Structure 1
Amino acid sequence: MLEPLRQGLPPLDLATVSSAASCALPSRLEAVREARQFTRMTLGQWDVGDRNDDVCLVVSELVTNALRHAMPCPTALADEQDPPVRLHLMRWTARLVCAVRDPSLEGPVAGDSEDFSAESGRGLFLVDSFADSWGWHPLAGTLTGKAVWALFQLPCAPVYAE
């Protein structure tokens, strides 16, 4: 169900982004709450229809995965000036992308799909269930690591006749 994990974003013209926001996240598990609050505040300013809860859930899962699995040692990185985990939100007219950047070169791995009663290991299954598509790709240029992204289709704004 989750293969292939390594896939690039579908074609999106970055020049047509109508809104964008990002925030650096400290390498502490409390950052998940901060990411959720940042997302809820940002989406409150954008018209994303009824996708707020879906996006916030997916952001929580992506940030949790980055902090748990992509950080060499969370306590060693907690005092860095430039936190290595970053959340990006980008909105187009009919699409929203949330992406979490982390320093790991390894792709995300889905947990055991057979045990849905487990307390952990279902994050990517939730992402797959609530986002319209998702994937990951290695970063290029001077950045190292990867970005794990999720795409949400948004309802088109109504057209009003005058």
Structure 2
Amino acid sequence: MLEPLRQGLPPLDPSAVSSAASCALAARYEAVREARHFTRGTLDQWDLDDRFDDVCLVVSELVTNALRHALPSDTPRGPEQEPPVRLHLMHWTERLVCAVRDPSHDSPVARESDDFSAESGRGLFLVDSFADSWGWHPLVGTLSGKVVWALFRLPPVG
């Protein structure tokens, strides 16, 4: 899952991840609130709560996009169903990555509109504005779907 995160950056060694956490999110819009709550708790544990506002906005947009655009319309939405969306947070010394996995193979599409006052359609524009970089890649092997990720650079410690 980490290979595409290299895009123009020094290599990210998966073994150098100092912390990682993930949570499953059910196919209901309350999952966005759950993702924000999970992100708040995780960033607090990692002593990164000063980045919460930007990271939370991006997490909210990525999860909303997964729920709105990446799930087939016939996806069961009950609490007893296996969650189709998963949020991953990974922390390196100077980087934080938020990644949302969903079952769709379709690429995320940024809306090509200049109407930024619209009620919807700004999600990827906001992700691009608040994260240092973002992208997506299809999953291979036993996992099906894709991962949409956002990377935040963190100030050096000390």
RMSD: 1.6
1:12-57 C-alpha deviation (Å, 9 max, x unpaired): 1110100000000000011000000000110011122632110010
* Structure 1: gaps spanning 5 or more residues: 1-6
Task: Find the counterpart in structure 2 of residue 38 from structure 1.
Answer: 38
Identity of aligned residues (%): 75
Task: Find the counterpart in structure 2 of residue 107 from structure 1.
Answer: 107
User: Aligned in 2, Cα 1:74/1:151: closer, same or farther, shift over 3 Å?
Assistant: farther
**Mapped pair 1:134 → 2:134:** yes
Q: How much has 1:139 moved relative to structure 2?
A: 0.5
Instruction: Tell me if structure 1 keeps the 8 A contact 2:40–2:49.
Output: no
TM normalised by structure 1 equals: 0.89
Question: 2:119 & 2:45 partners in 1: Cα distance?
Answer: 33
Q: How much has 1:155 moved relative to structure 2?
A: 1.1
Instruction: Tell me if structure 1 keeps the 8 A contact 2:25–2:87.
Output: yes
Q: Which amino acid in 1 is paired with 2:122?
A: R
Instruction: Tell me if structure 1 keeps the 8 A contact 2:26–2:81.
Output: no
* Structure 2: gaps spanning 5 or more residues: none
**Mapped pair 1:47 → 2:47:** yes
Q: Which amino acid in 1 is paired with 2:89?
A: L
**Mapped pair 1:8 → 2:4:** yes
Question: 2:74 & 2:129 partners in 1: Cα distance?
Answer: 28
